[in-house]
Structure 1
């Protein structure tokens, strides 16, 4: 299910596609029609979001219909070389915030205590939950109450760096992917071959421009390698930033009167994993349970202390942490290659990807330099 402006008549939906013999193009959805609106004023998504009123530009832009939404979706498959969806971002940095939900925060503590060993996870889960329970729910990070909980957990020997960023004053914000390196709807998403305990992470992704304005929202899969990060938080870069290690899309919904931050804060995301072995996992993530306000995470990311001249995309974290056993009792869930992952949200559509090893996904070849040369050749710079 891709978002359709017939279903959301007031939605302003913009994205990027790859056009054969042309290159990346900026597109708008008009019902089922996909309209190329690439122009000298806004040749990239980065440039569009730097305009004073991106929504007005998108709605007024002249362009040509290049395909239908149904045909575009059908052509956006693993390894496709023709007309296909790209992630709805280009030159923006791709950042992610971690440990933003109390329930998934507990699972991070378990990963750390288990040192990445899935065999020990169930035993440690029972111990941690017997002490923590749901006592972290509703705690405002950095508050006096949070500091009291910190003291109790330290006394129990269960304090963790994950709890520090979960209920402490400072959010965890890291670089998830390089600009231009994310994949879009239908593409393969990659697992580092050294990982044997991993899972999808269904998240909302915000689009923020260089001035710190939140301008749109879309869906993302911040693939999580539990064993690698669990061995040491210093391996976060290896765990998070690999070939095809995150997907974003399918389209960016610009914020307006029909869809604003209140919709982001109340969003209910659903997740389905369908394996070639017949295994099915259903999950969800409710943004109503996020521990930090998305606007606060944005403010901690950009400001006088750190500028993003091309803007950035920000994964907001997830409530989802799978513990359903897939094979061996007590080991919980892990991906197998060939898994099809679908993340859905009524106002943003659905993002579908197939899981492969990062070494099996198409190599990332089209970066910022290639984009600049392409746009220059097309007379758009």
Structure 2
């Protein structure tokens, strides 16, 4: 499996490259950003990925595969199970019942590129929320022309008690330091055989034991990804592309909440895995601030 990756070398220089099935990375010619690649058409991107330079390397630090003005957005209530979960937690149940069958989907901003975490880095639970859950999702990587050019494994970490108290609190439940994580590489769309039937598996480990696990499939979508993309691009531009989380079909019962020191692992067939420890938001804030000027600092947080 080939992946588009961002990486930092031993000197901290950030490059974009192509990772092969063995994990070896080759830099792309002309030092493009991922954002630059997402300005290309799907055909142009495929040609660009064939143009690498230098020796293959394995001694690099993989970074979140997003940069520039690329934005992360997310969709909600796109599976039957997610509707049931939102209705159960909410004091305004009819809101979720109505959006499930409405023509217009629920879409919300999730994160700018600089605030995205990747594999091994600490996701977070809000200190002012009693009920917090991971949300395993297929992430669509979209170019500036609204074409799906790749896929990532995504975790839309959410504070259910905050959102459940009042739907108007959705931004606080969804947007905070440590709430957005994606796998460390983008799998090109042409390498995923059937995105409409991908198994998605979630495992939460606590003190060496499985605290929660579940599976779903993109075959259970109530809305098509294409419909979500069309609504996202309907009245705005994404010059550096976007990543769209497509919603979750795995919603734990109200008796489960994430705890600090849990480990969350998400696996999506043909796309990859994403594993993150759970820490306070202060850890994620420190990581994200340090990484703005010192990308290699991310390595020390992955060892925590």
With structure 1 as the length reference, what TM-score do the two structures score? 0.72
Q: 1:277 to 1:33 in 2, by over 3 A?
A: closer
Tell me the secondary structure at the aligned position of residue 365 of structure 1: helix
Q: Measure the CA separation in 2 of the matches of 1:37 and 1:279.
A: 38
CA distance in 1, matches of 2:156, 2:24: 27
Measured in 2, the distance between the counterparts of 1:67 and 1:363 equals: 23
Residue of structure 1 equivalent to 2:288: 364
* Alignment partner, residue 227 of structure 1: 161
- The alignment of Structure 1 onto Structure 2 pairs a total of residues equal to 290
1:96 counterpart = 2:74: yes
1:33 offset after TM fit, Å?
A: 4.2
1:30 to 10, 20, 35: 20
1:130 maps to: none
CA distance in 1, matches of 2:208, 2:55: 43
CA distance change for structure 1 residues 97 and 20 in 2, over 3 Å: closer, same or farther? Answer: same
1:219-298, aligned counterparts within 5 Å?
219-256=153-190, 258-260=191-193, 263-276=194-207, 278-298=209-229
Name which of 55, 64, 67 aligns with 1:87.
Answer: 64
Alpha-carbon distance between aligned partners in 1 of 2:82 and 2:39, rounded to the nearest angstrom: 34
Question: Contact conserved, 1:37 with 1:63, CA < 8 A, in 2?
Answer: yes
1:32 to 1:336, Cα distance in 2 relative to 1, 3 A: same
Q: CA deviation at 1:310?
A: 1.3
- Report the Cα distance in structure 2 between the residues aligned to 1:363 and 1:186, rounded to whole angstroms: 12
- Bigger CA radius of gyration: 1
Is contact 2:40-2:144 (8 Å) kept?
no
Q: Which has the higher strand share?
A: 2
Q: Distance in 1 between matches of 2:54 and 2:228?
A: 36
1:114-129 aligned within 5 A: none
Task: Say yes or no: does 1:306 pair with 2:283.
Answer: no
Unaligned runs of 5+ in 2: 295-304
Aligned-residue CA RMSD (Å): 2.0
Does the 8 Å contact 1:192/1:359 carry over to 2?
Answer: no
For residues 321 and 31 of structure 1, what CA distance do their matches in structure 2 show? 32
Alignment partner, residue 379 of structure 1:
none
Residue 333 (structure 1) aligned with residue 256 (structure 2): yes
Contact 2:38/2:240 (<8 A) preserved: no
1:178-197 equivalences in 2 (<5 Å): 178-197=112-131
Q: Is the 8 A contact 1:17 1:86 kept in 2?
A: yes
Deviation at 1:198, TM superposition (A): 1.1
The question of 1:51 aligning with 2:40 is answered yes
Q: Alpha carbons of 1:244 and 1:36: their partners in 2 closer, same or farther (altered >3 Å)?
A: farther
The 4+ residue runs of structure 1 with deviation greater than 3 A are: none
Question: For residues 129 and 10 of structure 2, what CA distance do their matches in structure 1 show?
Answer: 35
Question: Distance between the aligned counterparts of 1:38 and 1:340, measured in 2?
Answer: 33
Query: Residues 165-198 of structure 1: CA distance to partner in whole angstroms, max 9, x if unpaired?
Result: 2211111110111222110111101111111211
Q: Secondary structure at 1:90's aligned position in 2?
A: coil
Q: CA deviation at 1:38?
A: 4.0
Contact 1:203 1:221 in 2 (8 A): yes
Deviations 1:237-289 (Å, cap 9, x if unpaired)?
Answer: 11111112111013111112x425xx211111111100127343111121111
1:142 — aligned with what? Answer: none
Cα distance in 1 for partners of 2:210, 2:22 equals 33
Maintained 8 Å contact 2:29/2:53 = no
Q: Secondary structure at the match of 1:341?
A: strand
Q: How far apart, CA to CA, are the structure 2 residues paired with 1:281 and 1:230? A: 21
Does the 8 A contact of 2:17 with 2:52 survive in 1?
Answer: no
In structure 2, C-alpha distance between the alignment counterparts of 1:85 and 1:355, rounded to whole Å: 20
After superposition, what is the alpha-carbon deviation per residue over 1:86-139, rounded to whole angstroms, capped at 9, x for unaligned? 2222121010011111111111011113x8xxxxxxxxxxxxxxxxxxxxxxxx
